[in-house]
Amino acid sequence: MPMDPSSAMLSQALLLLQCIILTLGQYDICKSLVSTDDGPTWEYYACQPKPMSMKEYMKIRVEPPDITCGNPPERFCTLENPYLCSDECDASTKELAHPPELMQDRERTGLITYWQTVTWSRFPEPLLANISLSWNKSLELTDDIQITFEYGRPTIIVLDKSLNYGRTWQPYQYYADDCMDAFGMLPKRVQDLSATNVTRVICTEQYSRWVGSKNEKNVRFEVRDRFAIFAGTKLQNMDNLYTRMESMKGLRDFFTFTNLRLRLLRPALGGTYVQRDNLLKYFYAISNIEIPARCKCNLHAGHCSLRDGNLQCDCEHNTTGQDCSACERGFKAKSWKPGSYLPTPNGSPNICTNSAPGEASGTSGKCNCNQLGSLHARCNDTGFCQCREGTTGQKCEDCLPGYNWKQGCVPNVCDDELLLCQNGGSCIQNQKCACPPEFRGVLCEQPRCQGERGCDGASACYLSALTLLLCLLVNSLLKANA
Ligand SMILES: *[C@@H]1O[C@H](CO)[C@@H](O)[C@H](O)[C@H]1NC(C)=O
Ligand SMILES: *[C@@H]1O[C@H](CO)[C@@H](O)[C@H](O)[C@H]1NC(C)=O
Ligand SMILES: *[C@@H]1O[C@H](CO)[C@@H](O)[C@H](O)[C@H]1NC(C)=O
Ligand SMILES: *[C@@H]1O[C@H](CO)[C@@H](O)[C@H](O)[C@H]1NC(C)=O
Ligand SMILES: *[C@@H]1O[C@H](CO)[C@@H](O)[C@H](O)[C@H]1NC(C)=O
Ligand SMILES: [Ca+2]
């Protein structure tokens, strides 16, 4: 039986609210003060910095050095106006100069500013240009890279990346109007990729065909479409993506880089062969390079800041280094580990500690049994901490499988391995499944509407206490409107 319109609306509103709650602000705090029976204590979480517009921080280098137009001054025309070659590039005049920094400026005045190369006047020698972008910092893409070309998108490009500050490079994506002809590769689209081959390096023809220079200016490296394979088309289930980031080898590294390089191999041709009688209309021009990414801090920092001209993680959890990839001095009792996205939504901080096994810091007897995980504050005569149910480890600081830390180890109601939420439900803090409106039960295993009854508006209030509150709010608003 179909739901009545108001209850359908309510369900939609709730789903939307749930989305907002689940996707906003995930992993953005590293610690918080919580009150326990023994007074306030810090709880630590896996954390990562917010995405930033990395074009603000990138160093650009173009090769060969004399590829930028204007020295000496030269004339050019466009593919759409090939016989009006009166435009001029002149490096010595501000209004007519097109230096590389115009690929990363903010264009506050509303005027489009762009880097431009010399024209292809030396045909048949190929017109080649490299643009290298460096940050001296490991970064992780959070959205599509977007490169904006004025006067037409090139017919052949390779995007490369480096993970080691430019020492070695690997191709990231190939772009051509004819992939087979340019690279001997079959053309693919990111939309054709699936969970098993999401990290495949492909050649795409989507951004190189001539459609007019003003109709479509952008060339993308699609990050969103790749995320969507796991998180859904609206990225509504980021938990699933983060879970895969932990379990699927190479997935995180695929989105990680320290440098990018754009190899421009053939300019826009206007949809036809090269016309040798007018080579002044062939060149490259880029007005903007957008790189949405976050600093890679190994889930040990919530912020990343510019220090001495370089981006650096503001490390927490007693870690240190540009990427928080080491334990601070004095905190090397356990070997360093990156934080983990699991269990969602707070992850595991894997903090560096200063207490080595058996090495009691501080005064008389204080063998550092974890207050929440152990039965007694002190260890017994032989130096053992006695752990509560579900708890393990030298100090009773870890949980047995099937348990998760929440001011002590509590048994899981749901998880990503055995106790899977069913019918599209998502597991919240291992403690409850948030079910879609049509299902209920601990693991969302029961259809809500069986037969004719039980499908009234009120039944849509199915979520946690928080969403219940919001639900009541929405309900009263709906009533007020009616
Ligand atoms: C671009 O970089 C590649 C790889 O280092 C190099 O082989 C090529 O010669 C460079 N092209 C130009 C135009 O400098
Ligand atoms: C790169 O960053 C590291 C750490 O911040 C710094 O020590 C080094 O000097 C930087 N290198 C360059 C070339 O800026
Ligand atoms: C990826 O896998 C899907 C099916 O699993 C297939 O249809 C697609 O062609 C594959 N893509 C590539 C680039 O291999
Ligand atoms: C790290 O070390 C400082 C002392 O230097 C301490 O106050 C703090 O609680 C430690 N732990 C974490 C997780 O930051
Ligand atoms: C101390 O605790 C450990 C672990 O629970 C136990 O095996 C040992 O027998 C205990 N020793 C004493 C003296 O109570
Ligand atoms: Ca610009």
**422, exposed or middle or buried, with CB in 10 Å at 0-12, 13-18, 19+?**
middle
Q: Which two tokens stand for residue 65?
A: 């050095």
Q: Is 322 close to ligand 2, i.e. is its CB under 6 Å away?
A: yes
What DSSP character marks residue 386? P
Contact 429, 464 (CB under 8 A): no
**pLDDT score recorded for residue 12:** 52
Given this model, what pLDDT does residue 370 score? 83
Report how far ligand 3's centroid is from the alpha carbon of 181 (Å).
Answer: 21
**Ligand approaching nearest to the C-alpha of 204:** 3
Contacts of 480 (CB under 8 A, 6+ apart): none
Protein residue with least CA distance to atom 4, ligand 4: 318
Q: Choose among 279, 289, 294, 299: nearest CA to 342.
A: 299
List of residues 6+ apart from 272 with CB closer than 8 A = none
Output phi, psi for 136, to 5 deg: 55, 40
Which pLDDT score, from 0 to 100, does residue 359 have?
40
Does an H or E element contain 230, and which?
helix 224-231
Q: What CA–CA distance (Å, rounded) separates 149 from 286? A: 4
Instruction: Report the residue among 318, 332, 348, 350 best suited for mutation to probe ligand 4: largest number of ligand atoms under 8 A from its CB.
Output: 318
As a whole number of angstroms, the distance between CA 388 and CA 478 comes to 48
- CA–CA gap between residue 288 and residue 103 (Å, rounded): 4
The packing angle between helices 5-23 and 238-247, to 10°, is 40
Collect contacts of 407-411 with beta carbons under 8 A, ≥24 apart: 407/34, 407/36, 407/43, 407/372, 408/372, 408/373, 409/373
> What pLDDT is stored for residue 358 in this prediction?
40
| pLDDT at 473 (0 to 100) | 58
Residues 346 and 45: beta-carbon distance below 8 Å: yes
Q: Is the CB of 384 under 6 A from ligand 5?
A: yes
**Is residue 313 within 8 Å of 323, Cβ to Cβ?**
yes
Cα–Cα dist 245/296, whole Å: 13
Strands (E) in 393-470, as ranges, are: 398-399, 403-405, 409-411, 426-428, 432-434, 439-440, 446-447
Residue 218 to residue 224: CA distance in whole angstroms: 15
For the chain, report the end-to-end CA distance as a whole number of angstroms. 23
The DSSP annotation for 150-201 comes to: SS---SEEEEEEESSTTSS-EEEEEEESSHHHHHS--B--GGG--TTSTT--
Pocket (CB within 6 angstroms of ligand 3): 188, 192-194, 196-197, 200, 202
Ligand 3 pocket mutation pick from 185, 190, 193, 203 by most atoms within 8 angstroms of CB: 193
Cα–Cα distance, 138 to 165 (Å, whole number) = 8
Two tokens, residue 389: 């149910």
Ligand 1 lined by 432 (C-beta under 6 Å): no
Which residues in the chain show pLDDT less than 70?
Answer: 1-25, 355-365, 367, 417-418, 449-482
Distance, in Å, from the CA atom of 222 to the CA atom of 206, rounded to the nearest integer, reads 11
Q: Which residues of 157-186 are buried (b: 16+ CB within 10 A; e: fewer)?
A: bbbbbbeeeeeebeebbbbbbebeebbeee
Instruction: Tell me if 310 CB under 6 Å of ligand 2.
Output: yes
Tell me the two tokens of residue 441: 């039960």
| Distance from C-alpha of 133 to C-alpha of 101, rounded to nearest angstrom | 11
Cα 369 to ligand 5 centroid, rounded to whole Å = 14
Distance (Å, whole) CA 414 – CA 35:
25
State the Rg of the chain over Cα.
28
Distance between CA atoms of residues 306 and 50, nearest Å: 14
Distance (Å, whole) CA 201 – CA 205: 14
Rounded distance from Cα 112 to ligand 6 centre (Å): 6
**Minimum CA distance residue for ligand 4 atom 6:** 318
Can you state the percent helix, strand and coil of the chain, rounding each to 5?
20, 25, 55
User: In which region does residue 12 sit, left (phi positive, over 0), alpha (psi from -120 to 50) or beta (all else)?
Assistant: alpha
The residue with tokens 């580990």 is 337
Please report which helix (H) or strand (E) contains residue 247, including its range. Answer: helix 238-247
Which residue has a Cα nearest atom 2 of ligand 5? 384
